[in-house]
Structure 1
Amino acid sequence: MKQLRGKIVLVTGGASGIGKIMVRLLLERAAKVIIWDINELKIAETISEFSNKGTISGFTIDVSNVNQIKETALKVKEEIGAVDLLINNAGIVAGKYFHEHTTLDILKTMEINANAPMHITKEFLKEMLAQNSGHICNIASSGGLISNPKMSVYAASKWSVVGWSDSLRLEMEQLKKNIHVTTIMPYFINTGMFDGVRSRIPILNPEVAALTIIKAIEKNKRMVTIPGYIYRLIKLGQGLMSINVLDWFAGNVLGIYKTMEHFTGHKNNS
């Protein structure tokens, strides 16, 4: 099992939601944790709350801004050192029909959910390759596996993450590099980001989801859905059922296509 003691870990969106819980769990494992978040106040609150648990620092950053990513990554490397574990967790959602999305909705969702993990990883991968050691964990979504009304742009961004993340894993294996890549695909998590969602499949407890992610990293898992049966259920349905039958099964039996009907979310999804 991977030991996280003394490792430098960067968590994007680490000042709230499951990001914040993962920060605590990492500190409890004696990792040196760096938070990237757009909310300066929440960063300060999180550092104050967890400062007695270990080494923690934070940087205010808008991960949709590539220049800020480059500048802040350089600060991290100069002030703290090479990152051993990167957890790309920051994300947003606009839960509405596609024709209701504004141009900004589309741009921001893709910039934060899909593009930022690639740009951030690129900034820290060079050092990982040089030391032939590292781990990248990308928080995608079960929405990256199955279509869903009122999640079209969010699903597009998460399908992107799943495809890129696992391709990166294969590249590292092909190059025989000791750099692990873990792709996480959780169902809805009860953090406020998906307030209003109604689901027949149980909505995830954030503490349990965060712990599952950290354990997946420690075990060098490659692709993980939370709960575990989601991946098998979706892939089995997609492989064996016609589109009409799959739509009936996902929509009427599992109720997935109606989960977003009462979505409200919160103002600052991250």
Structure 2
Amino acid sequence: MTDFRGAHVLITGAASGLGRLMALEAVQRGARVSLLDRDAKGLTEVCEAIQGGKGGAGGFVVDLSDRAALQATCAEVLAQRGGVDILINNAGIVSGKTLLECSDDAIERTFQVNTLASFWTVRAFLPGMLAVGKGHIVTVASAAGLAGTSRLVDYASSKFAAVGFDESLRMELKRLGSPVRTTVVCPFFIDTGMFEGVKTRFAWLLPILKPDYVVRRIMRAIAGNRSRLIMPRFVMTVPVIRVLPPFLFDAVLGFFGVNRSMDEFVGRH
């Protein structure tokens, strides 16, 4: 089991959405938290909301797409607040545009935030976990990291990479004989505003998930050392469907409305 009591939890993308809720929940469970986000105002509000928890909260303003700045911030966290016990790479962005509509800069930024930032944070904090013989690394990916769809070419590609990152890291840690654990989280669309406007054809099978529910499931998965959390359960059929020829796989996703889910996307303003 992974115990939050007295643990130092670092969360990226913590100024709003899932990151904010996970920070509040971690403190409720007895953790002290370090929070990273580019939104200074949002970070301040979260830190003020959770002051009084064990060790309080430390907010660090940083653009996760800036590798040098992120690495410097990770070093600052280590110097000011010590080693990290639970690292939650939660930050993510989405353009919601077709491949040809996306700018070069937007595509690169999607990968920098959704994928590469995890490399830099893990490289910063994993040595400390290995030294003390414990730790937990959480990658908040997406159901889009299991099945791609239109208007999510950049996003889905970055999340496929995030899923592969977690899997390869898990295998690497096992090869090293390390007790450090990993958890990858692959949820369907979540009602945080990030995917405002998305639709689902069969809400009873593929519901737009509620943030509070998702956070509860994530925290339980971390505490229980689950290696993978997929929500809702229907998304777990994707690996099975993949045995079909591509034209049938595409037809199944089309029937369930997945390939049209982004048609009315507007995103967070």
Question: Which of the five TM-score ranges fits, normalised by the shorter chain?
Answer: over 0.9
- Structural mapping, 1:160-199, within 5 Å: 160-199=161-200
| Aligned equivalent of 1:82 | 83
- Match runs of 1:137-148 below 5 Å: 137-148=138-149
1:224 positional shift: 1.2
The residue aligned with 1:71 is 72
Deviations 1:191-248 (A, max 9, x none): 00000001122100000001111111001111111113312x1111112x22112111
Shift of 1:74: 1.1
1:34 Cα deviation (Å)?
Answer: 0.8
C-alpha separation in 2, matches of 1:223 and 1:78: 31
Matched residue SS, 2:144 = helix
Where 1:15 maps in the other structure, the secondary structure is: coil
Q: Which runs of 5+ in 1 are unaligned?
A: none
1:40 matched to 2:44:
no
Superposed displacement of residue 266, structure 1: 1.1
1:15 aligns with 2:15: yes
The aligned counterpart of 1:151 is: 152
SS at match of 2:100: helix
Amino acid paired to 1:222: S
In structure 2, the partner of 1:213 is 218
Deviation of the 1:11 alpha carbon: 0.3
Q: Distance in 2 between matches of 1:102 and 1:189?
A: 25
| Matched residue, 2:247 | 244
Deviations 1:154-199 (A, max 9, x none): 0110000000111101111111101001111111000000000011
Gaps of 5+ in 2: none
Letter in 2 for 1:32: R
Q: 2-side partners of 1:62 and 1:96: how far apart?
A: 22
Amino acid of the residue matched to residue 69 of structure 1? Answer: L
Contact 2:187 2:230 in 1 (8 A): yes
Q: Which amino acid aligns with 1:18?
A: L
TM-score normalised by length of structure 2: 0.96
Q: Give the aligned partner of residue 229 of structure 2.
A: 224
Name the counterpart of 1:258.
260
Q: 1:48-127 counterparts in 2 under 5 A?
A: 48-54=48-54, 55-127=56-128
Q: Take 1:249 and 1:78, find their aligned partners in 2: how far apart are those partners? A: 51
Q: Percent identity?
A: 34
Q: TM-score, normalised by structure 1?
A: 0.96
* Runs of 4+ that moved beyond 4 A: none
Secondary structure of the 1:11 match is strand
2:207 and 2:232 in contact (8 A); partners too: no
Matched length? 264
SS at match of 1:99: coil
Q: 1-side partners of 2:234 and 2:174: how far apart?
A: 26
1:2 deviates by: 2.1
Q: Aligned-pair distance for 1:147?
A: 1.4
Instruction: Map Cα deviations across residues 11-64 of structure 1 (whole Å, 9 max, x no partner).
Output: 000110011110111001000111101000001111111213442111001111
The one-letter code matched in structure 2 to 1:257 is: N
